[in-house]
Amino acid sequence: MASENISVNPECEIVTTRIVQFPIELAYFAWTEPEHLKNWWGPKGFTNTFNEFDLRPGGKWSFIMHGPDKGNYANECEFLKIEKPSFLSWKRHSKPLFQVAVSFEPVSGNSTKIVFKMIFDTPEECNKLKPFVVDKNEENFDKLEVELSKMI
């Protein structure tokens, strides 16, 4: 499996897994096409403005997440690896710093298992965000499933 290409310490990871009732090609498409990604990326209530989305190794993903109450959060990322339709990874150049690895694996029927890993340099950095992002990542996946249902 592609996600095994990144070997890290589990104490430095936040992992969210979801099986979606959609085929792998559609799930991957929702993560790699800006017109769909901008609709669901981020926790509940967040919206996005994408400035650049260059899906290739070394390409930039620059966007602003707009919070539901107030606040705009600039994000600068660089794509590291793209293996259509099974794997994506990128690193953040804006704080908090971490890498992301996302794997897509077909399961029975037309379902897809998505494993989303946030990979930090140290357990301390990971533990700072863990109390906040575990539930927010689930909200992100909830929004993904809504977007996928609109795409079929």
pLDDT reported for residue 7: 53
3-class SS string, the chain: CHHHHCCCCHHHEEEEEEEECCCHHHHHHHHHCHHHHHHHCCCCCCEEEEEEECCCCCCEEEEEEECCCCCEEEEEEEEEEEECCCEEEEEECCCCCCEEEEEEEEECCCEEEEEEEEECCCHHHHHHHHHHHHHHHHHHHHHHHHHHHHHC
pTM, to two decimals: 0.93
Q: Residues of the chain with pLDDT > 70: what percent?
A: 95
- Alpha-carbon dihedral of residues 49, 78, 55, 3, nearest 10 degrees? -120
Residue pLDDT, tens place only, 11-44: 999 999 999 999 999 999 999 999 999 999 999 9
- Domain boundaries in the chain? 2-46+82-151
Q: Which fold does the domain 2-46+82-151 belong to in CATH?
A: Alpha-D-Glucose-1,6-Bisphosphate; Chain A, domain 4 (3.30.530)
Residue pLDDT, tens place only, 127-136: 999 999 999 9
pLDDT reported for residue 8: 63
Task: Say how far apart CA 71 and CA 78 lie, in whole Å.
Answer: 23
